Amino acid sequence: MIRLPQRETRTLLAVHGWSAVLLGLLLYAVIVTGVASVFTDEIADWSSPLPSQADTAWPQGIGSAIQHAAQTVDPQFHEDMIAFRQAGGRMQAFFHKHDTDPAGKPIERGVVTVIDPQSRQIIERREGTDEEIGEMNLPNALAHFIVDLHVRLHLPNPWGLLLTGILGLAMMLAAVTGFVIHRHLFKELFTLRRHKDRMLSTRDAHVIAGTWNLPFAFILAFTGSFFSFASSFGIPAMAMAAFGGDRDKVIEVLIGNPAANDPTPAPPPALDRALDDARQRAGSDPWYILSEHWGRADALQTVVMLPASGTLRNRTFLYDAAGRFMQEKPLLGSVPSSGAAVYSLMGPLHFGNFAGVLSKAAWFALGFAGAYVTFTGLLLWTTRREDQPAWRYLGRSVTGLGYGLPLALIMAAYGYFPVVRLGGDVHVMMMTAFLAGLLGALLLANLLRQLADSRRILLSLTALALIGLPWLRWIGTGVSWIDAAHGGLNAVFAIDLGLSIAGLLCLRAVRRPSPAMKRLPSAQASPAT
């Protein structure tokens, strides 16, 4: 495709290989968890369903239910309220005030009321800081575990975000250099020589997957880096350079909401009126509603809508205390701008959630391809150097992590459901189960002589874990398939079925040898030590 001089090609090939090797295992973890995160809403609904699923988390009259919930909350927390959909269609309304922790870090402190959208009753209450309340959120705990692993590898902010940001940069670099150094992109588009020697077939597998996945690899890496760097580094740096360190000022300028200052007490904001109007204007359901200055004359309601069918972007409407429409505004700024337009694309392009299950399925498949590219690239590198002891260890770790990470993620669910049933610290249980799965897989790959055996065992365990998970979910949540049918719990059916099919596919894969892991003669098998 692009004819570069030899020197440049060699340099870019080295950059491509070394950047991937140094960061490839972590990048693989981010990509695999990203694939799972595509269906985070569905996983939450599956792991913690309500007895029946409402058609929408925002039925008519939900605003009144939120207003009623406000009456049960200490007025000191009526500074702001944000409401959004949670696991199983629950409506979560977080009444809070802005505070600082002992270290001076800005936090939110308040009360969460969780409302059943069908009965309009409060079914759960949690109080504390935003972080404490998040920790107590059992229904969403499994979904949050997976997303948190993807967003920041469970490391504290800002380090986790900076690390995933760097991994995104590495992925982009690999995509760009891979594109440039592959001179016969279109000529080799359909050529996969599985019947040839191990090196060639592994190389082809990697190149084919990389080529077909190239546009999305670039998009996902670019948008992923943006999300990681924007909050951990970009906004604080902008605040320091241009706003005297005032982060709140930067956020205020970016959001662009009209300033108001009329603390005259007023009736609670008319949420239902605002929601009804927003639904009509956007032709879609709300994503979330933010109500500022609750119970004041200058109350402002920001209703952000899900993309209407066929569109990519969210629409944002502003309403006053009485629920009267004030204006439509972009996601950022008070009037349309190029900056707001480009920012509003980053979410849909990264999450793939703009068209429900259809777009999510496409993003899931593409993410899977991205994980395959990373995995085969690492295999290619380590297979080429398997006569060198240091690279041999990496090769074993690649096999262990490559097949072990999906197993470890499933194990996290095995840590979640017993807590739902029996109680306990859900975060400790999920992390313990996850790490046990991961470390067990790494240990297995390093102890067994043949990598093909490690692969076979790990795939078999993954298959068993996948097939067993729907049954564990049933025991943990008490929701059978009959209950799910009565309650219209489609996510329960879909994911249970998906897990079972995935398990059968893993069993099928066990029977097929991997070309990259041909069984070596005993004399050549890498010793465990």
Partner 1 sequence: MTQTAAPPPPNRARAWSRGVLMGPVSFIAAALVMVGSALWLPKGPAGIDNLVWPIVLFPLLWTAMFLYSCLDVRLGRAWLVALGLALSHGALIANSMMSTPA
Partner 2 sequence: MSLSLLLLVVLGAVPSLVLLLMLGSRDPKRLRNLPRNARESVTPWPPARRRLIGALAALPGLLMMLNGEWAAFLIWLGLCLCGGWLWVHRLAPPAIGATMSRD
Are 457 and 400 within 8 A, CB to CB? no
Distance of closest approach, residue 147 Cβ to partner 1, in angstroms: 21
Half-sphere exposure of 177 (CA within 13 A, CB side): 19
User: Which CB sits closer to partner 2, 215 or 488?
Assistant: 215
Chain residues 343-362 in contact with partner 2, contact rule CB under 8 A: 348-349, 352, 354-359, 362
225 makes contact, choosing from partner 2, partner 1, none, with CB < 5 to 8 Å by partner type, with partner 1
Rg (CA), the chain: 25
| 8 Å CB contact between 171 and 177 | no
Residue number, 8 or 197, with CB nearest to partner 1: 8
Question: In angstroms, rounded to a whole number, what is the distance separating the alpha carbons of residues 126 and 446?
Answer: 45
Q: Which span sits near partner 2 by CB under 8 A: 151-159, 183-191, 455-463, 499-507?
A: 183-191
Minimum distance of partner 2 from residue 60's CB (angstroms): 21
> Closer CB to partner 1, residue 340 or residue 378?
340
Between 357 and 396, how does the x/- string for binding to partner 2 read (CB under 8 A)? xxx--xx-xx--x---------------------------
Does 505 bind partner 2 (CB under 8 A)? Our answer is no
d(CA 481, CA 464): 20
List the single partner that 212 binds among partner 1, partner 2, none, CB under 5 to 8 Å by kind: partner 2
Indicate the residue among 20 and 172 with the shorter CB distance to partner 1.
Answer: 172
Displacement of CA 481 from its chain's centroid (Å): 27
Among partner 2, partner 1, none, what does residue 354 contact (CB within 5–8 Å per kind)? Answer: partner 2
- Please give the span between the terminal C-alpha atoms of the chain, in angstroms, as a whole number: 44
Nearer to partner 2, 57 or 410 (CB): 57
> Taking CB within 5 to 8 Å according to partner kind, which of partner 1, partner 2, none is near residue 346?
partner 1
Position 195 contacts partner 2 (CB under 8 A): yes
Task: Return the amino acid letter for 197.
Answer: D
CB of 136 to partner 2, least distance (A): 33
Q: Which is nearer to partner 2, 357 or 439 (CB)?
A: 357
Show contacts of 508-514: CB within 8 Å, 24+ apart. 509/459, 510/456, 510/459, 510/460, 510/463, 513/452, 514/452, 514/455
Least separation in angstroms between residue 269's CB and partner 1 is 25
Q: Of the two residues 365 and 507, which places its CB atom closer to partner 2 in the complex?
A: 365
**Does the protein bind partner 2 through residue 337 (CB under 8 A)?**
no
Rounded to a whole number of angstroms, the minimum distance from the CB of residue 232 to partner 1 is 11
Q: Which of 8, 74, 101, 197 binds partner 2 (CB under 8 A)?
A: 197
Segment lying near partner 2 (by CB under 8 A), choices 81-89, 96-104, 249-257, 513-521? 513-521
177 binds, among partner 1, partner 2, none (CB under 5 to 8 A by kind): partner 1
x-or-dash string of contact with partner 2, 203-242, rule CB under 8 A? -----xx--xx-xx--------------------------
Closest CA to 384 of 7, 2, 20, 102: 20
**Interstrand relation of 300-305 and 286-292 (parallel, antiparallel or unpaired):** antiparallel
C-alpha closest to that of 152 among 141, 164, 167 = 164
Q: Which residue has the tokens 């605003």?
A: 63
The token duo for 187 is 């000529």
Among 68, 247, 279, 518, binds partner 2 (CB under 8 A): 518
Q: In this complex, which beta carbon is closest to partner 2, that of residue 216 or of residue 416?
A: 216
Residues making contact with partner 1 (CB under 8 A): 7-8, 11-12, 15, 168-169, 172-173, 176-177, 221-222, 225-226, 229-230, 233-235, 237-238, 240-245, 250, 253-254, 256, 330, 332-340, 342-343, 346
Strands 315-319 and 106-115: unpaired
Q: What would you measure as the largest C-alpha separation in the chain, in angstroms?
A: 85
For 174, the 3-state DSSP assignment is helix
Alpha-carbon gap, residue 132 to 128, rounded angstroms: 6
Q: What minimum distance in Å lies between the beta carbon of 88 and partner 1?
A: 35
CA-based nearest residue to 527, from 449, 467, 419:
449
* 201 makes contact with partner 2 (CB under 8 A): yes
Check binding of 43 to partner 2 (CB under 8 A). no
341 contacts partner 2 (rule: CB under 8 A): no
CB 354 to partner 1: min, Å: 18
Q: Are 337 and 330 in contact (CB under 8 A)?
A: yes
Amino acid letter for position 500: S
Least distance (Å) between residue 292 CB and partner 1? 19
Q: Which two tokens stand for residue 169?
A: 């940069």
Which residue type occupies 379? L
**Orientation angle between helical segments 6-37 and 389-422, nearest 10 degrees:** 20
Q: Identify which of residues 12 and 451 has a Cβ nearer to partner 1 in the complex.
A: 12
Q: Which of residues 289-308 bind partner 2 (CB under 8 A)?
A: 307
Q: How many residues bind partner 2 (CB under 8 A)?
A: 45
Nearer to partner 2, 210 or 295 (CB): 210
> Distances from the Cα of 318 to the Cαs of 39, 268, 285, in angstroms?
30, 16, 15
- CB-CB contact of 336 with 294 (8 Å): no
Helices 40-47/490-511 angle, 10° precision = 110
Q: How far is the CB of 416 from partner 2 (least distance, A)?
A: 29
Q: Are strands 286-292 and 80-85 parallel, antiparallel or unpaired?
A: antiparallel
What is the CA 496 to chain-centroid distance, rounded?
20
